[in-house]
Structure 1
Amino acid sequence: MKNYLVHLLNYELWANLRVIDALETLENPPSRAIAVMGHILSAQHVWLNRIMKETAYVAIWEDIPISWMAETAERQHRKIVSYITTLAEPELLQSFDYATSKGVPYQSTLLDMLTHMSHHAAYHRGQVVQLIRPLLTEAPVTDFIVWTREA
């Protein structure tokens, strides 16, 4: 299961970088597209810090300049993959206590948190692509199966 999660996280990084690369090519990308891509990365940061029991230093809707996005995505990817690879398989089903951004306490397994992060990012990447598609000759393709074919 651990190898599958790393596989999924590798896909997520690839997909995020494709969208970020597309944003970087635009002279004047829509502000909403920038905000949503920043939200993907900020939310990921918040979830990583919940998992690692660290303090998050960004809000869920943090403004992140496009020029910082690729490095942010890569840094967070390295951090979570490094963390996961140190765990024993049973620890993936371990429950974590955390609070939402509104302070509501919850408990979820690491597996559920990582699955949520992946699905959340995919949902919002689709929104970003929809916003920038009219401005591009070719919109970025971020389908999981495309990544597996290219990998």
Structure 2
Amino acid sequence: MTGNDVLKNLSEYNIWANKTMLDVFATLPEVPGNALRLQSHALNAQAIWIARITGTDSPVKVWQEHPLEELVALHNYASYKIAELVADADEEEFNRLIHYTNSLGQQYSTRVLDILTHAFNHATYHRAQVATDLRKCGHTPPNTDYVTYVRELMGQVF
């Protein structure tokens, strides 16, 4: 398995995990505000990283909040677009430096490979926060662990 294969797996996991969380949101009478804010942020960040990699303007702000319908649309854009970027990248692209200014006005240069790795890790971090928030509000969060995703792929869900 190559590094590209690992990133492809993570990009597909990211799609599954984001959809799994949003599917649970859709079953709730009201999504807790902090959970919605954190999931919005996680998907906003992916859209912002996509814009930086592709040299386009971001369609969202880092802490912009979205109602559920907009969040689903953002997931359908960002989660799939980032997977497309991974699938289309070669070694040269993965090693390309992206020069950007963060939300605090600080300038950085980061390899595409590191940006993509960060984007997936960042989303996982915030999904865990969302799960904690759902639990605090009396809801049962989904299990979005990577191994759960792999088990589902292999038909080992009981």
Runs of 4+ in structure 1 over 6 Å off: none
For residue 135 of structure 1, give the secondary structure of its aligned residue in structure 2: coil
2:46 aligned to which of 31, 44, 47: 44
- The answer on whether the counterparts of 1:24 and 1:67 sit within 8 Å (CA) in structure 2 is no
Q: Deviations over 1:33-86 (max 9, x none)?
A: 111111111111111101111111210011111122223212222222223333
In the alignment, residue 113 of structure 2 is paired with which amino acid? L
Please state how far the C-alpha of 1:4 moved relative to its aligned partner: 1.9
Q: Does 1:84 align with 2:67?
A: no
How much identity, in percent, do the aligned residues show? 31
Please state how far the C-alpha of 1:14 moved relative to its aligned partner: 0.7
My pick for the range that moved more, 28-37 or 73-82, is 73-82
Match runs of 1:62-73 below 5 Å: 62-73=64-75
Hey, what's the Cα distance between the residues in 2 that align with 1:32 and 1:87? Answer: 35
1:147 aligned to which of 130, 146, 149: 149
Higher relative contact order (CA 8 A, sep 6+): 1
Q: Does 1:135 align with 2:114?
A: no
- Please list every run of 5 or more consecutive structure 2 residues that lacks an aligned counterpart in the other structure: 154-158
TM-score scaled by structure 1? 0.92
Please state how far the C-alpha of 1:121 moved relative to its aligned partner: 0.6
Who is 2:156 aligned against?
A: none
**Structural RMSD (CA):** 1.4
Q: How many residues align?
A: 150
For residue 100 of structure 2, give the secondary structure of its aligned residue in structure 1: strand
My pick for the range that moved more, 93-102 or 77-86, is 77-86
- Please list every run of 5 or more consecutive structure 1 residues that lacks an aligned counterpart in the other structure: none
Match runs of 1:1-151 below 5 Å: 1-133=3-135, 134-136=137-139, 138-151=140-153
Hey, what's the Cα distance between the residues in 1 that align with 2:84 and 2:122? Answer: 21
Shift in alpha-carbon separation, 1:93–1:132, aligned structure 2, 3 A: same
In the alignment, residue 87 of structure 1 is paired with which amino acid? A
Hey, what's the Cα distance between the residues in 1 that align with 2:132 and 2:87? Answer: 34
In the alignment, residue 71 of structure 2 is paired with which amino acid? M
For residue 96 of structure 1, give the secondary structure of its aligned residue in structure 2: strand
Please state how far the C-alpha of 1:144 moved relative to its aligned partner: 0.3
For residue 31 of structure 2, give the secondary structure of its aligned residue in structure 1: coil
- The answer on whether the counterparts of 2:46 and 2:82 sit within 8 Å (CA) in structure 1 is no
My pick for the range that moved more, 52-61 or 90-99, is 90-99
